[in-house]
Structure 1
Amino acid sequence: MSAINIRKFGRIGFDITDMGFGAAPIGNFLRPIPETEAGAMIDRAWEAGMRYFDTAPYYGHGLSELRLGHYLRWKPRRDYVISSKVGRVLTAARREDIDFKPWVDGAAFKSRFDYSYDGTMRSFEDSLQRLGLEYIDILFIHDADVFTHGVEMQKVYFRQAMDGCYRALIKLREQGLVKAIGVGVNNWEVMLDFMQAGDFDTLLVAGRYTLLEQDALNELLPLCERRGTAIVIGGGFNGGILATGAVPGAKWNYAPAPAHIMEKVRRIEAVCARYKVPLAAAALQFLLAHPAVASHVPGTRTVEQMDQNLALVAHPIPKAFWQELKSEGLVRQDAPVPA
């Protein structure tokens, strides 16, 4: 198979590459990425055929958007798709007054949650400035979930997001400043709540539909299919373990993997070994088999990691491999798998 292919973006129908550039790492997630390496990765993504780039104000407190805008500045605007997010507002501040965690050496802005109508409009306009663009193709409501806020506060922010963000996104779409509106959160149940409360074009599913987790098949993905809602997959390695395997210290959802997850990954790795399939290749190729999935955005820290991902999505995997995963109960029977 080819490393990069073109798909239609759900009911909106514009073209998007089925693999995009996840720009969270270039916000200096956990540790710095040199400016030269950030630029080299964006250039390599373009050279490889990627024409979808995903960022957010939160990533490095604006640093990801600043870097992405800089390196895409002279690319023909109609030749690529870019997504960003709302739900936080950045305000200029002295570096010594900013808590950047989990980012390192971000841009000189404080970040605060703001799901109001006015806050959404300000966040969008600020993103245009940082990116140096006249419009953004896809705009997601960001992190209005239990993972970020806890059970009780999530209920508050959900209502604020529907009363504020959602109205603003509808307005921006009507004005042609945004092509598609959606939600990007870490809990599939919260995505279902948003889908039932509003009419969204797309969802950014972060780590909740992977080779390890397919509960989204129960209700969320069938609803997306019926509505023509395009899915973008982030966190396709479940925070690390589907890239590293069940090694000591392996991360699941960015925390140490529990015993039952380690055991399931070991069993998947055993099937991989029998068919000589890299675990990471199976993880990435599984994502694109579902008909609602338009693209996935694996994050990379180096050009070498990007080249590895490009090789993984093109690695041949026999049909019998997927059949064995299902027969051993390691993948759900109703989960679409690559042909």
Structure 2
Amino acid sequence: MQSKNQLVELPLFAEKQVTLVLKREDLLHPFISGNKYRKLKYNLLEANNSGHGTILTFGGAFSNHIEATSFAAKEKGFKSIGIIRGEELVDSWHKNTTLLKAHEDGMKFKFVSRDDYRRKEDSDFLADLTKEFGEFYLVPEGGTNTLAIKGCEEIITEDDKQFNFICSSVGTGGTVSGLINSSFPHQEVLGFSSLKGDFLKKDIDKLTNNIRWNLISDYHFGGYAKISQELIHFINEFKKYTNIPLDPIYTGKMMFGLFDMVRRDTFAKGTKVLAIHTGGLQGIAGMNSVLKKKKLPLLDI
């Protein structure tokens, strides 16, 4: 399955003579959109080939990965278990749109403390989960592993050879690593970090041997799931003029960064940029509930 490329036609790009095209990975699937579709593809095949009947994974309360995994597991005939960060959600999870949808898709939850959640890669912790739930196929938090990267390598096609830059948001590093691996020799990949700190560069270095990439760390807006009125305004204006929705956690920040870089003449005239829309639109409803409590403007849905 392939997504479509959509030209972003706005005055800024005409003025700067830069071409920006958005690869609409968000349209791949109504519930397993974008990079989640790519990351789960080969993991679910491996789970089936290895005889597993249950998928277990990790995520936060508004995790796109949790919702995507629950639906994909149901679609492919697996049971699913979500280890969810935050004990405080035990009595209130049904008020959370992401978790409610995952539950409707058959996912069972185990809510753990933040300290326990940090142990998600510890063999002892995983052994305890096996005792509790039986054998399972483990998909890491965010879905990133070698099979996920293999799936993300399929995002770039021969038709994308015309572009000078490939751009993507970065969370765990799996998607951008796949893009780096499959990019053409004349292309540079720009990853826009949604997290605060430089640790992602080391993580990506471990996942790819290609050196034609750069991590942009100037547009995280304070860190993961952090958002400002400026970013809300940008996302709403972008949708108003292009009819393309952006999520506030990943793609919205990347696009804000790209606009700023174009405005500052980072790209030479005639440059062609392909930006990857990694989906995650289901998170808008959850973010709006947070913004509403803070009496901030809401994102258009």
TM-score of the alignment, normalized to the shorter chain, above 0.5 = no
Measured against the shorter chain, the TM-score band is: 0.3 to 0.5
Question: TM-score with structure 2 length normalisation?
Answer: 0.34
Which of structures 1 and 2 has the larger relative contact order (alpha carbons within 8 angstroms, sep 6+)?
2
